[in-house]
Amino acid sequence: MTQPDIASLPRVTYTNLGDDFSSVHAHIDAILHDTEQRLLGRPHAHLIAGKPVAEGPGKLVRSPIHDGLVLGDFPDASPDLVARAVAAAREASAAWRTRPFQSRIEILRSGARALASRKYEIAIACLIEVGKSRFEAIGEVEESIDLIEYYCAEMERHNGFAMPRPAAVGNETSTLTLRPYGVFAVVAPFNFPVALTLGMTSAALIAGNTVVLKPGEASGLTASLLVSCLTEAGLPDGVLNLIFGGRLTGQALAAADVDGIAVTGSHAAGMDIHRAVASGRYTRPVLAEMGGKNPAFVTASANLDDAALGVMRSAFGLQGQKCSALSKCYVARDIAKPFLDRLTALTAAIAIGDPRSVAIFMGPIINEAAAGRFADAVTNARRDGTLIAGGNRLSGDIFDHGAYLAPTIVADLPADHGLNRTELFVPLLSILLFEKLDSAIDDANRDEYGLTAGIYTANSAELTRFLDRVEAGVLYANRASGATTGAWPGIQSFCGWKGSGLTGKGGLGPWYLPQFMREQSHTIFARAARS
């Protein structure tokens, strides 16, 4: 059967899910089996200075979809091997940082084209590795391509971040420029193994840094594919190095002789790295996105159909395993019943199962540790509140081979209950009723996090108060496609406030790339030649 030109297939983003994607599904159906056979179950090696290094104890990593699906055998990098990877990046740094920025972005754009040509292969790997739905996985690869293109365009738009300045005296020229730091460590999470990995890595490379990348322990397969796309596009040896491993490998990388660290993970992990780096001989940049406890507000004037759909999608998309996932929803008391009727009906209709199937919205949660966290949360919710929907682990058929959880809604928990203040990363949504919007916003602002927030209202004064007063970096209003989720490169930046970020400047936006560089002033006096 002849396969279509994938460039002719509809483009999948996080907000165009109402379009006709029958041709996309047909293409995935046609290639799914062969792609699995080709990608899964293979041994993998680290990549250091352009050479595969099969060193360290191997670990079989299994798909969360089914315990019989082996993603591959990935070695754990020792501290010594981490140091070798950093040394390789250091060796390659001088040539890469002095390379004209136009040449660097040409290579990265070639890598983006390689990603586009392998879009569905990488999406299938992402789907199986994380348990994402088809749309989430394809959209993530599309986002990654756009991330590279956007950061390349920003480098061009700013002429490599070189700015002529006025001369103080005659025969003198002054220029301000941003220069790369040197070697960046990139520590990526499991939940967006393509977009978050490439967002941090591509920005570091475009800015002129070399990189040592450690993907999430569960997401080495997609990392291998991404690195192969970039290296085959022409990255010189040592510019991008890949190491596998778990928490100890990540700690060794964060403590290594690097010039900066980009990390996405929990608040605790990000702050641990930040404190460790701050205690060194001199500070180095730590660009950390550290999760959220994201609220949405549904006011009495809201379109309840849009609100219920947006709340459901953001609370239970990717099984609640997004740092932008909706965690608690403040609902005006007067419309609580009709809103909850709509929300529970949508939640009951969610298709849960093997996300390789077309109709599935929710797949499994990533592992048993997360399932245990969910079980503990449900126990506390039953004890201290009212369980409205879900609360159980599914069983039977494929459900017995992975951690498949029912989307769960709880109400009547005290505002300061742990489930209302702690990031859970599971499919559990807390409902809180309010009389006054200002009071609800005040309560949400008491969280240590400040990543995303959403509102549903037809009242312009309410919208203005929300935009002015909510302490979060990514705000949405009246979005049926997602109450708190759905940022896209060049459109919405993704900036964490308070405990959700360190720098006040987010990825996907115009102020992210400069954080991988530092300022330098050039003043040159042109002395007349001797006669």
Structure tokens at 68: 């019989």
Structure tokens at 470: 């909510």
Query: Could you write out the three-class secondary structure of 365-426?
Result: CCCHHHHHHHHHHHHHHHHHCEEEECCCECCCHHHHHCCCECCEEEECCCCCCHHHCCCCCC
pLDDT bin (cut points 50, 70, 90) of residue 14 is: confident
Residues of the chain with CATH 3.40.309.10: 294-490
> Which residue has tokens 């964490």?
496
Over residues 286-304, mean pLDDT: 96
For 13, 200, 204, 215, 487, the CA distances from 494, given in Å and listed in that order, are: 16, 12, 17, 20, 7
Instruction: Quick: pLDDT tens for 32-63.
Output: 999 999 999 999 999 999 999 999 999 999 99
* 281 vs 183, more confident: 183
Answer whether 93's CB lies under 8 Å from 83's CB: no
Instruction: Quick: pLDDT tens for 306-328.
Output: 999 999 999 999 999 999 999 99
Answer whether 185's CB lies under 8 Å from 254's CB: yes
What was the pLDDT predicted at 359?
93
Percent of the chain at pLDDT above 70? 98
What was the pLDDT predicted at 2?
60
Instruction: Quick: pLDDT tens for 129-177.
Output: 999 999 999 999 999 999 999 999 999 999 999 999 998 888 899 999 9
Residues of the chain with CATH 3.40.605.10: 27-290+506-519
Q: Give the list of residues 6+ apart from residue 494 with CB closer than 8 angstroms, or none.
A: 289, 324, 473, 474, 487, 506, 507, 508, 509
pLDDT at position 531 over 70: no
What was the pLDDT predicted at 3?
66
What was the pLDDT predicted at 17?
67
pLDDT at position 1 over 60: no
Name the residues annotated as catalytic. Answer: 289, 323
Distance CA 247, CA 221 (A): 18
What was the pLDDT predicted at 56?
92
What was the pLDDT predicted at 528?
64
pTM comes to: 0.95
Backbone angles phi, psi at 300, to 5 degrees: -65, -20
Answer whether 432's CB lies under 8 Å from 328's CB: yes
In 3D space, the residue among 437, 504, 115, 130 whose CA is nearest the CA of residue 301 turns out to be: 437
What was the pLDDT predicted at 526?
86
Over residues 232-247, mean pLDDT: 97
> Which residue has tokens 């080709």?
38
Answer whether 318's CB lies under 8 Å from 326's CB: no
Distance CA 452, CA 268 (A): 19
Structure tokens at 140: 């993530």
Whether domain 294-490 has CATH 3.40.50.300: no
Answer whether 73's CB lies under 8 Å from 58's CB: yes
Q: How does strand 286-289 pair with strand 51-53?
A: unpaired
**Average pLDDT over the chain, rounded to whole?**
95
Q: Give the list of residues 6+ apart from residue 46 with CB closer than 8 angstroms, or none.
A: 52, 53, 54, 55, 56, 75, 77, 81, 85, 241, 242, 243, 244
Instruction: Quick: pLDDT tens for 375-431.
Output: 999 999 999 999 999 999 999 999 999 999 999 999 999 999 999 999 999 999 999
- Domain 27-290+506-519 fold is Aldehyde Dehydrogenase; Chain A, domain 1 (3.40.605)
What was the pLDDT predicted at 444?
98
Answer whether 209's CB lies under 8 Å from 117's CB: no
What was the pLDDT predicted at 73?
97
Over residues 10-20, mean pLDDT: 80
